[in-house]
């Protein structure tokens, strides 16, 4: 903590390459969590030895305020054991922060700092493993700024393990972890981090997190991020501790108008569900699927349960864009079904489905599949 503007001298040695850092140090504003400085390849110089050994020596004047300094390493190439030639000054591997002016040192005070404090936490979906889909609902009793701290997997502009927030009930997305808004989380370049604050109005929300089939808290198949135990998403009060009277943990709302539903469908699945109509009825269908050319490869249909005959099928011609990649397709419409027993079915191919997108997901990824509502209800 600095009582007044103070010139600081920073020396960092670490391991980096042009597209990522493996061992590095950084400084943040402890109240806003904004990055003040981070050693990267671009703003560092060779430290001797192997090409990946890098060093930076900078002098900055920091305004009065609270700051936190960090240093993180991956699982190899450090002072405990080099897997390539060490730097010229191996004992300096790490971060050194100094105040050179003896008269200014009195302005520096230490304090206890917790980067993701439990006392500020609203929701934590962390330690998420392979092929998981987690969610938790909560209510904000007044509008507030919330901090999102999320770790996930992404590369080439797309996310594979990521989180998002929806309105509870309407399922409308209010925030999503997009690759363009992430930064390297340390370790392998595909480890991505969001640490930002957003404003949420008073209301009911659901926090979601989904993973694909590899590189997660179950086991990283490349260098893990330093904060790998928090793989997932955490929502916190943007500043200070959380007023527990402002947040209420709630249940996700189930829509009473739903007759049958198959959602969150993953690759190479073919789920089914039976339902009965006591009388002829109009039903509303909401379905998301994948188009290839002018046909569908992920799609739903309805069968007569006794004969197995298809009575309705989702086709490319009857669908429209569903947001995200152009191959994401949506059917939303009403049909009439006679009284009887039916089987709701959905089928996916071997790619681009819930939790394993090979292109941008649709606007409502958790609804990938098909839902039948009583007419006049639902989406």
Q: What is the pLDDT of residue 363?
A: 84
- Across-strand partners of 55? 13, 45
Give the pLDDT confidence of 53-77 residue by residue, as tens digits. 999 999 999 999 999 999 988 888 9
Spatial CB neighbours of 320, under 8 Å, sequence gap ≥ 6: 329, 330, 331, 332
Give the pLDDT confidence of 76-126 residue by residue, as tens digits. 899 889 999 999 999 999 999 999 888 888 889 999 999 999 999 999 999
Spatial CB neighbours of 121, under 8 Å, sequence gap ≥ 6: 234, 235, 236, 242
How confident is residue 169, by pLDDT bands cut at 50, 70 and 90?
Answer: confident
Residue among 9, 3, 28 at smallest CA distance from 99: 9
User: What sign results for the dihedral spanned by CA atoms 158, 159, 164, 169?
Assistant: positive
CA distances from 287 to 93, 110, 322, 329, 362 (A): 55, 56, 10, 8, 11
Q: Residues spanned by CATH 2.60.120 within the chain?
A: 118-250, 258-374
173-204 per-residue burial string, b: 16 or more CB within 10 A, e: under 16? bebbbbbeebebbbbbbbbbbbbbeeebeebb
- Across-strand partners of 27? 37, 69
Asked if residue 210 lies in contact with residue 158, where contact means CB atoms within 8 angstroms, the answer is: no
Q: Which two tokens stand for residue 54?
A: 């890098």
Give the pLDDT confidence of 213-259 residue by residue, as tens digits. 899 999 999 989 989 999 999 999 998 899 999 999 888 777 889 99
Spatial CB neighbours of 37, under 8 Å, sequence gap ≥ 6: 10, 26, 27, 58, 60
CA dist., res. 106 & res. 292, Å (int): 67
CA dist., res. 211 & res. 125, Å (int): 12
- Across-strand partners of 2? 65, 108
Q: What is the pLDDT of residue 255?
A: 82
Q: What is the pLDDT of residue 33?
A: 87
The per-residue DSSP string of 329-371 comes to: EEEEEEEEE-SEEEEEEEE--SSSBTTB-SS---SSGGG-EEE
Three-state DSSP class for residue 79: coil
CA dist., res. 345 & res. 258, Å (int): 15
CA dist., res. 297 & res. 290, Å (int): 6
**Which runs of consecutive H residues, i.e. helices, occur in 241-298?**
none
141-157 per-residue burial string, b: 16 or more CB within 10 A, e: under 16? eeebebbbbbbbbbeee
CA distances from 260 to 105, 265, 267, 271, 328 (A): 67, 14, 21, 12, 22
Residue among 93, 140, 110, 125 at smallest CA distance from 247: 140
Angle at 123 between CA 206 and CA 370, to 5 degrees: 25
Q: What is the pLDDT of residue 371?
A: 97
User: What is the end-to-end Cα distance of the chain in Å, rounded?
Assistant: 51
Q: What is the pLDDT of residue 1?
A: 92
Topology at the third CATH level for domain 118-250: Jelly Rolls (2.60.120)
Asked if residue 138 lies in contact with residue 146, where contact means CB atoms within 8 angstroms, the answer is: no
Give the pLDDT confidence of 346-370 residue by residue, as tens digits. 999 999 999 889 988 998 898 999 9
Residue among 300, 299, 298, 271 at smallest CA distance from 356: 298
CA dist., res. 329 & res. 325, Å (int): 9
Give the pLDDT confidence of 277-305 residue by residue, as tens digits. 999 999 999 999 999 889 999 999 999 99
Q: Which CATH architecture has domain 258-374?
A: Sandwich (2.60)
């Amino acid at each position: 903590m600095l009582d007044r503007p103070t010139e600081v001298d920073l020396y960092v040695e670490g391991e980096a390459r042009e597209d990522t850092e493996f061992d590095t140090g950084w400084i943040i504003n402890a109240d806003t969590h904004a990055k003040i400085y981070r050693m990267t390849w671009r703003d560092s110089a060779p430290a001797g030895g192997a090409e990946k050994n890098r060093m930076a020596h900078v002098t900055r004047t920091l305004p009065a305020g609270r700051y936190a300094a960090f240093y993180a390493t991956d699982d190899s190439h450090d002072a405990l054991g080099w897997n390539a030639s060490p730097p010229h000054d191996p004992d300096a591997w790490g971060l050194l922060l100094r105040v050179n002016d003896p008269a200014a040192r009195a302005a520096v005070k230490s304090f206890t700092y917790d980067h993701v404090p439990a006392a500020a936490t609203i929701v934590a979906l962390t330690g998420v493993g392979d092929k998981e889909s987690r969610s938790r609902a909560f209510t904000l009793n007044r509008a507030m700024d919330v901090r999102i701290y999320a770790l996930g997997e992404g590369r080439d502009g797309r996310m594979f393990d990521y989180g998002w927030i929806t309105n509870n009930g309407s399922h409308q997305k209010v925030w999503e972890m997009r690759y363009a808004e992430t930064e390297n989380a340390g370790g392998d370049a595909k480890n991505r981090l969001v640490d930002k604050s957003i404003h949420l109005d008073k209301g009911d929300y659901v926090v979601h997190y989904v993973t694909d089939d590899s590189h997660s808290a179950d086991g990283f198949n490349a260098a893990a991020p330093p904060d790998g135990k928090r793989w997932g998403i955490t929502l916190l009060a943007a500043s200070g501790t959380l007023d527990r009277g402002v947040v209420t943990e709630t249940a996700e709302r189930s829509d009473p108008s739903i007759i049958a539903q198959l959602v969150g469908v993953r690759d190479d699945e073919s789920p089914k569900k039976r339902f009965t109509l006591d009388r002829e009825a109009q039903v509303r269908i909401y379905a998301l699927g994948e188009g290839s050319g002018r046909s569908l490869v992920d799609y739903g249909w309805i069968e007569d349960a006794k004969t197995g005959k298809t009575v309705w099928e989702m086709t490319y011609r009857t669908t429209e864009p569903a947001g995200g990649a152009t191959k994401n397709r949506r059917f939303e419409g009403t049909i009439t079904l006679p009284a009887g027993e039916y089987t709701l079915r959905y089928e996916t191919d071997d790619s681009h489905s819930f939790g394993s997108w090979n292109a941008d997901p649709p606007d409502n990824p958790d609804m990938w599949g098909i839902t039948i509502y009583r007419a006049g209800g639902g989406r």
